[in-house]
Amino acid sequence: MALQRIGFIGLGVMGRPMAKRLVAAGFDLTVHSRSPRPVDELVTAGASRAGSAAECARGQDAVVLMLPDSPDSELVMLGPGGVLEANPLPALVADMSSIQPGVSRQIAERCAERGVAFVDAPVSGGEPGAVAGTLAIMAGGETKAFEALGPIFEVVGKSAVLCGPVGAGGTVKLANQMIVAANIQAVGEALVLAVRSGLDPSVVMEAIRGGLAGSAVLEAKGPKMIAGDWKPGFRLELHLKDLNNALAAAKETGIQAPFTTIARQIVQTLVTNGHAAEDHAAIARYCEDLAGTTIAPSDS
């Protein structure tokens, strides 16, 4: 099925640049979001405005969701004025939010009853990846539906992998977030050690980036720690949500996740202490507080 008419619901930090890329790529985009400001911006860029999720989804070839959490996806899909109240219904829905895999499966069942194909397709890459169109997409669903969404995925991402049935995408995203949180924590601890040892953290980063410790997390978050730049590309409060979902999934499957448990406790402390809206690189703040020092120079 050729995709041309797309509904896009959720224009936050990630959704807004993704939607802008789809407009620029020539899709006939209709947008809806709780906040009017990004809707106005997208309309100026060439999108159409919808007053509800159902209106946004009406007769579309596909609908894309980019929402904060599981209750938001449930409400937008299944609630009053939701996507499944559209007439006519869209052919496809891609929920690119990071939500609980079980919720994705429940939504998919309701979609199937109405003849709507559903794919859960959360992403990794943060705001920079959304702006650049280099997101990593982890999908769950039927092969036919995944392949049909290819033109959208090609605009917003650099890779898209079908990981299994509906819910698999969400499970892989939780695994991704477990790794990212532990990696950020390790980078923060290492750079605090460097500073307390009298070393320049920029030099330390340059020395280790080419070895086994080199990683995408080091490249993306190390410079933010060194600059003391906590402007959000991905907010700590959202990473806390993901870690909570990851631990819930671990409990359901009967596994222990000690590193994730520790990371979750650290992120919860930071959120409680007023850092919820900061970038998740601010996990380093916890290490700084314990050491009584900062990675960034005092004049940053």
**Catalytic residue list:** 173
Sort 231 into a burial class: Cβ within 10 Å, 0-12 / 13-18 / 19+: exposed
Closest C-alpha to 294, from 229, 246, 233, 214: 229
- Two structure tokens written together for 36: 């009017």
**CA separation for the pair 276, 230 (Å, rounded):** 11
Q: How open is the CA angle 122-270-67, to the nearest 5 degrees?
A: 25
Sign of CA pseudo-dihedral 121, 127, 131, 132: negative
Identify the DSSP state of 83. Answer: G
Residue type for 12, please?
A: G
**CA separation for the pair 7, 15 (Å, rounded):** 12
